[in-house]
Amino acid sequence: MKLNRPHLNDLPARVARPGYDLSRVRPGIAHIGVGGFHRAHQAAYTDALMNTGEGLDWGICGIGTRAPERAMRDALAAQDHLYTLVELDDRPDTEVRVIGALRDMLLVDDSPETVVAQLADPAIRIVSLTITEGGYCIDDATGAFRADLPEIQHDLAQPQAPISVFGLLCEALARRRAAGTAPFTVMSCDNLPHNGEVTRKALLSFAHLRDEPLAAWIEREVSFPNAMVDRITPMTSTAHREALAREHGVEDAWPVVCEPFVQWVLEDRFVAGRPAWEKVGVQFTEDVTPYEEMKIRLLNGSHLALTYLGWLRGYRYVHETLEDPLFIAYLRQYMDRDVTPQLAPVPGIDLDDYKDTLIRRFSNRAIADQLERVCSDGSSKFSKFTVPTLERLIADEAPLERGALVVAAWALYLKGVDEHGERYAIPDPRATFCQALVEDDERLTERLLGREEIFGRVIPRSRAFVEAFERNLERLRRDGVAGALRAVLGN
């Protein structure tokens, strides 16, 4: 059965569908960056609230700023912007559910004016973002806003016809200010530390370059709540589409697959109201920092600890690495001995239970999370997910072997060939730059660790860490991943 509004009532009974009248849904949120994570996370929470009979004035209008998003927009438009969310697990009762919270999707390439007009509409009270770490235009080395980027230069020259995220936000807010319309909340749902503060910095940096009075108004009137978001969401594949049709009778051009686990901790700072997401499991807090630190260092840091070692070993899925006892032992030691002692207490969370949950999530065979997905953008991820842990270990004069092995594995991974001789591409926007850092074995340590935008200043100046890095790099070359893991584990 092809997924669309006329066919909703004809779908198999085991497929849940919106329990509300889609024609009554009105846009209250504009979301920039409609990828799998947004559709499995924020949109799913919003849909769940609508299924209680509330929040129908918080429908979502998607905004696409990149050319590749056209294919998704066209696929979703052809099925009335409905899509299927499929939870993947070994349990027989995992959910298959049609989501109706997304009601439209606009592309900047089609009409910047249409997008700006939507953002300037008083009905839009939240503009949310999933634009990836690199989308915030912040230089990793200096922390400064990248005003030199072509899209930013375009928007400064032609502010009424913006193409960048921050150009769009500024122009929409400028129109709201001129019309006496209240501003919207800008809410990042990206997986990066202090995402609200990063968003605020980027938007204000652009606004100061464009219009100082506007920047002052934004600084005074707009809110940017920090959030911790979590749900493993693999890339949708042809196999996922075929399984949905075969097993559940739904023909969906762009479903989203995810794990059953989902979490959202959000600071309650909204200038124009918000959905009652707390009724469907969102945890509101005054300060998201302890939750954010827990998730970024334990989940994301552990992902990096596994992913490059697993890839070099020849594994291609996260669950495969967790079927190897050496990886289980290494991951538990890294989490228990290197990360957990650095974390402050997290209200309402038992860290031992949280780590056990992570192991179960990583071991989920049904979700088949690709190591390639986790490997991507390492040059951006290290500074956020791993370097803070390493710097604290150095400051505390704590053992460095496990942490140094993470970096050594990335260095060897950048060579582009695993220990079985299989060659692969590096999924990183700066792949050429990164591979050049490891091309010369004689100067590899100096060139790699010396990149301040990736590893900061503390790591390359620590003789103990440099020695641990070189020791583990040599182990990987000489003994392979299994041998290096045994050495680090003391086996």
What confidence score (pLDDT) does residue 491 get? 66
What sign does the dihedral 382-387-389-393 (CA atoms) show? Answer: positive
What confidence score (pLDDT) does residue 133 get? 83
Question: Which has the closest alpha carbon to 135: 119, 114, 155, 149?
Answer: 149
Per-residue pLDDT tens digits of the chain, which is 491 residues long: 999 999 999 999 999 999 999 999 999 999 999 999 999 999 999 999 999 999 999 999 999 999 989 999 999 999 999 999 999 987 777 789 999 999 999 999 999 999 999 999 999 999 999 998 889 999 877 889 999 999 999 999 999 999 999 999 999 999 999 999 999 999 999 988 899 999 999 999 999 999 999 999 999 999 999 999 999 998 899 999 999 999 999 999 999 999 999 999 999 999 999 999 999 999 999 999 999 999 999 999 999 999 999 999 999 999 999 999 999 999 999 999 999 999 999 999 999 999 999 999 999 999 888 999 899 999 989 998 999 999 999 999 999 999 999 999 999 999 999 999 999 999 998 999 999 999 999 999 999 999 999 999 999 999 999 999 999 999 999 999 999 999 999 86
| Cβ partners under 8 Å of residue 486, min gap 6 | 326, 479
User: Which two structure tokens, joined as six digits, stand for 144?
Assistant: 């400064």
pTM of the shown model:
0.89
Q: Which amino acid is at 136?
A: Y
Q: Say if CB 226 and CB 193 are below 8 A apart.
A: no
Strand partners, 102: 60
Domains, the chain, with CATH or none: 5-285 (3.40.50.720), 289-489 (1.10.1040.10)
Residues 393, 386: Cα–Cα separation, whole Å: 11
Q: 442 phi and psi, to 5 degrees?
A: -65, -35
